[in-house]
Structure formats: structure tokens, C-alpha cells
């Protein structure tokens, strides 16, 4: 049929297996793509930097642990099995007292530090 791409295999993506493939924190790994959006796994521990994403929202889905996202005027605590969408342009700073495993959903090419850059910027589009 025109416009339909053939699927070569039918294998689900296993989060536990993917998380076992890396140990570093604050370095998102792409596990799937849907249209122009990527699904990324990331391990978070400690404090990140203040940053924002001018052109896109950012979705955090906590798969294991507890994540706090600080905002200039408050904070949100996200537990296992919960999600939160940070609206575009809103400055935020993720924090986790202990390691948290998170699924991020955001457009292709989004840097983890937004427009701030610096030494905490992870390489973009790293697939596992």
C-alpha cells in the first residue's frame, strides 16, 4: 500500500533492559521516535541547572523513584507512575535526592540544557 512502511520486526521496548545499558546521570538516551518526537530514558540524581526550552514543552514520566522539578515560584513533586509537562519557555531545575529513572518525551534534537548550554549539556540523539 502506498504510504505504509513495512515493519521488519515486532519487538516491544523493555525499559529495564534499556536502563541496564547505561549508568551515567543527566544523559538522555533515545529509545524510540514517533513522528518528530523522541522517547528518551534518563537517570537523574542530584541537582541539575536552571534552564528552559523556548520552543517546546517537555514531558517527564517517572518510572522509578521521586523527582522534584523546581520553578522560580514553586515546585512539583512527581512520584513513580506520575508525569508532568513543563510548558515551553518556563525556567525549571530538576532535582532527585536518590536516583530516579525517567522517560522524557520531547521533539528531536532538544538539548537537555535548553538554550543555556555548558558542561551539563549531554550529546543529543544518542540511541540505545
pLDDT recorded at residue 49: 93
Judge whether 99 and 45 are in contact, CB under 8 Å: yes
Give me the residues of the chain with pLDDT under 50, please: 1
pLDDT recorded at residue 54: 92
pLDDT (tens digit per residue) in 105-122: 999 988 777 777 777 778
pLDDT recorded at residue 1: 44
Contacts of 22 (CB under 8 A, 6+ apart): 29, 43, 128
| Residue 119, all three cell numbers | 558542561
Amino acid at each position: 500500500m502506498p504510504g505504509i512502511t513495512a515493519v521488519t520486526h515486532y519487538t516491544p521496548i523493555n525499559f529495564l533492559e534499556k536502563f541496564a545499558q547505561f549508568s551515567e546521570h543527566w544523559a538522555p538516551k533515545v529509545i524510540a521516535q514517533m513522528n518528530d518526537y523522541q522517547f528518551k530514558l534518563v537517570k537523574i540524581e542530584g541537582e541539575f541547572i536552571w534552564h528552559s526550552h523556548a520552543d517546546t514543552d517537555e514531558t517527564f514520566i517517572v518510572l522509578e523513584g521521586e523527582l522534584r522539578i523546581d520553578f522560580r515560584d514553586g515546585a512539583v513533586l512527581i512520584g513513580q507512575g506520575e508525569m508532568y509537562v513543563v510548558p515551553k519557555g518556563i525556567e525549571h531545575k530538576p532535582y532527585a535526592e536518590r536516583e530516579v529513572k525517567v522517560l522524557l518525551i520531547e521533539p528531536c534534537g532538544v538539548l537537555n540544557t535548553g538554550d543555556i548550554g555548558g558542561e551539563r549539556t549531554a550529546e543529543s540523539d544518542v540511541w540505545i
